[in-house]
Each structure stands twice: as C-alpha cells, then as structure tokens.
Amino acid sequence: MAEIIHIPGSVFSAQTPENLVEYPVYAKILHLGLVLSVTFELWNSLAALWFANFTWFPLHVLAGLILTGWLVLTWLVYLFTPWGRHLLGTWFSWRTPQAVGHDLARLFRGKLPSHGVRPGLSSLWQAIFFIGVSIVTFGGFIGWLVLRGDLHLSGGAQIGLTLMRLGTPLLAYFWIGHVVMATYHALRGEALWRIFAVWKRG
C-alpha cells in the first residue's frame, strides 16, 4: 500500500511520492464524468420520487447506463493504477479511525479538517459516497436487466428499485455536503477545483 503524505500537526509522518498526491489527467476526467452523471441521475431521480416530475426521466435510463459503465471504468482505474490504489489506501487505511478521530477533534475546536488524498474525515466521506453511488447504480442496472428480461434473478427488480428509492435521498445528503464543503474550501482560497482542471498539472 502506498505511504501517506505528511500533514503537519497530524497523526501521519510518512512521505508520499508527488505523483501520487497530484491528480493525473485520467483521474480528473473520471471525476468530472462522475460529477456530471451522478448529479443528473440524482436530481432527476429526486424529481420523480418526490415531485412526480418526469420531464427528464426518458434520459434517466440512458444516463444510468452511461454512469454504470463509467463506474466500472473508475473502479478498474482505482484498482489497477498506482494512483488509484493510493486513493483506495487513504479511504480504507488502518489509520482511518485514528485520522477521523483527529479530524473530529479539530472540528470541535473550530478548525476545518484538511482535504486531499489522505486518511481522515474528508476521505471517509468520499469513500462512503462513492460506494453508495456504486451500490445504487449497480442495483438499478441489475433491476433494469431483470425488467427487460435479459437477466433472470428472483426479486432482482424489486431489489434494484428499493436500493434506488432508499439510496437516492441518502446520496443527496452526501452530494449536498460535498458541494457545501467544496464551496467553503474555495472561498478560503483552497484549490479543490483542480481535480477537474484537465488543462493543469497537479
């Protein structure tokens, strides 16, 4: 597993190679695609579930299929590239509980936890959101295949629909949290938007 970047005043001391701290172009493209497709699917689903607004629903299946493929590609990149494995290592590190506790202690003292590719509250939030999106999307895809008759799985359609109904509001909560914190960091002059800037290095 990749070593963790040193954060002054934190529980970490090891150094990480610079190329693992920065966001490569392929990671920026993946993140941008996830943001656009997840945002469309999420709010389109909420419009249908809560407000019976089906204006954009004909595109829901197409966008869902695109998101399914994009998630598969993202998981492959995370699992089979050094940068991706480093990212997963920060999400599921044995240091995570200690790092989250450290960040919470700082938060209760009025200090915003650090962001970036490191174990802690921010990475835990990202991991839960990404896994949640994967579960809901893949569940919906399986349900769609069952409804089409392309997959014979007892209760598969109901499982997919249930995951989408229950998971969508929870994912909306995480989405709002991401937007609020990203905006707050941006107002503080911290360059979070670099993870989408494919024309910039780092």
* CATH classification of the domain holding 64: 1.20.950.20
Q: How far is CA 12 from the centre of its chain?
A: 23
Residue 1: pLDDT above 50? no
Instruction: Let me know if residue 163 belongs to a domain.
Output: yes
Q: Which of 100-114, 124-138, 161-175, 183-197 shows the lowest per-residue confidence on average (mean pLDDT)?
A: 183-197
**Residue 78 domain-assigned (yes or no):** yes
- Token readout for 131 is 């896994």
pLDDT of residue 193: 67
Binned at pLDDT 50, 70 and 90, residue 191 comes out as low
Which pLDDT belongs to residue 148? 84
Reported confidence tier of residue 168, pLDDT bands at 50, 70, 90 = confident
Domain assignment present for 16 = no
12 within some domain: no
pLDDT exceeding 90 applies to what percent of the chain? 23
106-165 per-position pLDDT tens digit: 888 877 766 667 788 888 888 999 999 999 999 989 988 988 888 888 887 888 888 888
Are 25 and 198 a contacting pair, CB within 8 Å?
yes
Strands, DSSP E only, in 30-180?
none
Q: How far apart are CA 84 and CA 105, in angstroms?
A: 29
Q: Number of structural domains, the chain?
A: 1
| Domain span including residue 86 | 21-195
- Closest by Cα among 55, 61, 124 to 87: 124
Instruction: Flag whether 162 is in a domain.
Output: yes
In a domain, 84, yes or no: yes
Residue position matching structure tokens 């509250």: 121
Lowest mean pLDDT among 12-26, 35-49, 121-135: 12-26
